[in-house]
Structure 1
Amino acid sequence: MKKEYWFVIITYVIMQLSGGLAVDMIALFAVSAGVELTNELKVLIGAYWIVFSFIVALIFSLFFMRNEMRTKDLRNQTTIPISILWGFGGIFLAMFAQSIAGLLEKSIGIEQNSQNTEQILKLITQFPIVMLVTSIVGPILEEIIFRKIIFGTLYKRLNFFLSALISSVIFGFAHFEPEHILLYSAMGFTFAYLYIKTNRILVPIFAHVAMNTLVVIVQLNFEKHLDSLEKAQAFIGGFL
């Protein structure tokens, strides 16, 4: 694997692990400055740290990948109009894949609600700026790491199915909900297919961003009217 790929992965891991320590350090600084540390303040600090850390991680990742983006192979890429069609079609493909995975999970007795999604929605309700991460920054980072880097590297050695399977399972476990590995893996397979079909990482990025945005909007506005099956299908696949 290229060294710049490792730099991106390490950046992502550091960003994910930084939350607890950063919040504690900022909280201590606030206390030393005479600010009363309440649960609401800690949640506030955590929310804004999520936004800050994801944006910084994306900036560093794009910096590390700058040469990769300059030397991309244009020969096997689909045309821009076809890529746009695949991008929009990918939204529905991802939703359909989630639907099938949701039905399979339900058939084997897996609880349909996602604690990850519920926590994200609760945080967005309190701090709408977090939607910037769930809908844009998070999906971009995940597509760079799980599709461009992990899937792309595996695909040079293995066939599509094995490469997509391994990268999608990793993508699923990265969301820390192993009981819903089918749902997250279904999304991973879809985005990997979009990437290999168009040879443009922007296509799965667009589909991922659009799907997450749609899920957040629907869940926030119509959550009370969704039944359990619909909730199982409406997972956010771009934020940990």
Structure 2
Amino acid sequence: MNKRYWLVILTYGLTQVSAFIGVPLLLILGFQQEQIPGIWSFISFPIGLAIILWLLRPDFRNRHMIRNRSSRGEAVAWSILGVILVFVAQAIAAYIEMTVFGIEPGSENTEMIVEVTRAFPAFIIVTSIIGPILEEIVFRMIIFGALYKRFNFWIAALLSSFIFAAVHLDFTHLLVYTAAGFAFAFLYVKTKRILVPIVAHVAINVYVVLVNLIFYDKILDLQRQLEELQMFIGGLL
């Protein structure tokens, strides 16, 4: 892996941990506590993306030299199919989690994102656009790309997807994130265009966040009813 790629990974890592400095700073400046995570992400992630895009200028200039690169029409088709592919992969993974491991559906990571977005609506730009772009560049283009040069697809996809899943810190649903990572890696290998998994990733995130925002109250009511039902059944038993 060349030096520029290590700098990209370092930049991404610093963007992630910059909240340890930014959040206390915004607290001192008097911002509302519930808005601070969204505000700082809205500042730090665009800066991180700008630096990474600047570092990768040579790669983007030479992208047309990649062999067997899909045409624009094929890229559009695979971007659309990719959304379906990721949904199916996640659905299968979620089913395995429920039936084999007894893990209930619902992601703490998604719940946190929705809460932050409700407090600071502009945060949706970070979670739905900037975040997926950064993740596909780092985990697919760089980490998966480096591993794929040394191993076959399955090993490279497994390792890079596991790292991708672990970074989300939602270890209960590690399998779901890993399955999504596999699907994104497949799209990248199939088309040789990083834009394809980016589009699919953006579409998935937009859908999940908007659904949770629009139906927020109904989802809370449903969760409350399920909890009451579980307590009632537990009382009978």
- With the length of structure 2 as denominator, give the TM-score of the two structures: 0.88
5 Å-filtered alignment, 1:167-178, equals: 167-178=160-171
Aligned to 2:97: 105
When the two structures are aligned, how many residues end up with a matched partner? 219
Q: CA deviation at 1:75?
A: 2.7
What is the CA–CA distance in structure 2 between the aligned matches of 1:18 and 1:82, rounded to whole Å?
38
5 Å-filtered alignment, 1:112-123, equals: 112-123=105-116
Aligned to 2:39: 48
2:123 corresponds to 1:130? yes
SS of corresponding position for 1:128: coil
Aligned AA (2:47): V
2:201 corresponds to 1:208? yes
What is the CA–CA distance in structure 2 between the aligned matches of 1:192 and 1:156, rounded to whole Å?
13
Work out which of the two has the higher radius of gyration on C-alpha atoms and give 1 or 2: 2
Aligned to 1:6: 6
2:20 corresponds to 1:24? no
Q: Percent identity?
A: 45
5 Å-filtered alignment, 1:212-223, equals: 212-223=205-216
Aligned to 2:137: 144
What is the CA–CA distance in structure 1 between the aligned matches of 2:79 and 2:203, rounded to whole Å?
9
**Deviation digits for residues 170-221 of structure 1 (CA, Å, limit 9, x no counterpart):** 0000000112110000100000000000000000000000111111112222
Aligned to 1:65: 56
5 Å-filtered alignment, 1:185-196, equals: 185-196=178-189
What is the CA–CA distance in structure 1 between the aligned matches of 2:146 and 2:67, rounded to whole Å?
19
Q: CA deviation at 1:111?
A: 2.9
Aligned AA (1:221): I
Deviates more, 1:69-78 or 1:59-68: 69-78
- With the length of structure 1 as denominator, give the TM-score of the two structures: 0.87
Aligned AA (2:92): I
**Deviation digits for residues 88-110 of structure 1 (CA, Å, limit 9, x no counterpart):** 11001000111000001111111
2:154 corresponds to 1:158? no
What is the CA–CA distance in structure 2 between the aligned matches of 1:219 and 1:191, rounded to whole Å?
23
Q: CA deviation at 1:225?
A: 5.5
Deviates more, 1:214-223 or 1:169-178: 214-223
Aligned AA (1:90): G
Q: Gaps spanning 5+ residues in structure 2: where?
A: 224-237
Q: CA deviation at 1:44?
A: 2.2
What is the CA–CA distance in structure 2 between the aligned matches of 1:118 and 1:179, rounded to whole Å?
14
Aligned to 1:75: 67
Q: Quote the RMSD (CA, aligned, Å).
A: 1.6
Q: CA deviation at 1:20?
A: 2.2
Q: Contact 2:136/2:197 (CA < 8 Å) preserved in 1?
A: yes
What is the CA–CA distance in structure 2 between the aligned matches of 1:18 and 1:225, rounded to whole Å?
32
Aligned AA (2:111): E
Aligned to 2:177: 184
What is the CA–CA distance in structure 1 between the aligned matches of 2:152 and 2:56, rounded to whole Å?
25
What is the CA–CA distance in structure 1 between the aligned matches of 2:155 and 2:37, rounded to whole Å?
37
Aligned AA (1:149): I
What is the CA–CA distance in structure 2 between the aligned matches of 1:75 and 1:206, rounded to whole Å?
21
Q: Gaps spanning 5+ residues in structure 1: where?
A: 31-36, 229-240
